[in-house]
């Protein structure tokens, strides 16, 4: 009698796409004449959600705000997403892939978009630095554990 073999894990990239893009220059053109060095603030976020059985969308969001004094020079919000097929993986591995590997594949596209939008808007490019998605994921897991969300593997949101 032949033993039943465990199904082979599946991990495929279905598509990468720009989900949302916004550029605002609320004080243009006057603020463009300012000679001060702007302050740059960058915030990143990662979300993952199921689209259908075994298909997930992972989205990495960057919000780049540059200010001169208390006035905004420009604000960029970009969301780059990928659709991934993940099947026959243990739950803890599935969460780690959605929180680490997938964002790591999506992020280079986001970096290029932010840099390109800055340049097209007439500014020097903002170059997003490399991100350690594993450290980001582990910090999120520790935060969830500290909040006492139980022993079940939390999902990335």
CATH number at residue 70: 3.10.420.10
The answer to whether residue 3 is domain-embedded is: no
Cβ neighbours, 10 Å, residue 153: 15
Q: What pLDDT shows up at residue 34?
A: 81
Position 14 in a domain: yes
Residue 61 lies in domain: 10-144
Instruction: Please report the beta strands in the chain, taking only residues with DSSP state E, as ranges in sequence order.
Output: 10-24, 39-52, 55-68, 71-87
- Structurally, the chain folds into a number of domains equal to 1
Residue 154 in domain: no
Q: Is residue 24 part of a domain?
A: yes
The pLDDT value given to residue 30: 87
Of the candidates 59, 29, 32, 62, which has an alpha carbon nearest to the alpha carbon of residue 46? 59
| Domain contains 138 | yes
Whether 107 is in a domain gets the answer yes
- pTM of the predicted protein model: 0.84
Q: Average pLDDT of each block of 10 consecutive residues along the chain (157 residues)?
A: 74 97 93 86 95 97 94 96 94 90 97 96 92 92 79 45
4 lies in a domain? no
What is the Cα–Cα distance from 62 to 118, expressed in whole angstroms?
Answer: 13
**Whole-angstrom Cα distance, residue 149 to residue 144?**
6
Q: So what's the pLDDT on residue 60? A: 98
Residue 2 forms part of a structural domain: no
């Amino acid at each position: 009698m032949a033993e039943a073999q465990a199904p082979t894990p599946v991990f495929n990239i279905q598509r990468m796409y720009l989900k949302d893009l916004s550029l605002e220059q609320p004080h243009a053109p006057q603020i463009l004449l300012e000679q001060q060095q702007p302050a740059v603030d960058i915030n990143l976020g990662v979300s993952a959600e199921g689209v259908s059985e075994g298909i997930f969308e992972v989205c990495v969001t960057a919000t780049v705000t540059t200010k001169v004094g208390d006035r905004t020079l420009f604000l960029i919000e970009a969301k780059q997403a990928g659709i991934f097929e993940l099947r026959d993986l243990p739950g803890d591995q599935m969460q780690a892939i959605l929180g680490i590997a997938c964002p790591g594949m999506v992020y280079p596209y986001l970096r290029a978009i932010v840099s390109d939008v800055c340049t097209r808007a007439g500014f020097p490019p903002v170059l997003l630095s490399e991100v350690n998605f594993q450290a980001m994921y582990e910090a999120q897991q520790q935060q969830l554990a500290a909040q006492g969300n139980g022993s079940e593997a939390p999902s990335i949101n």
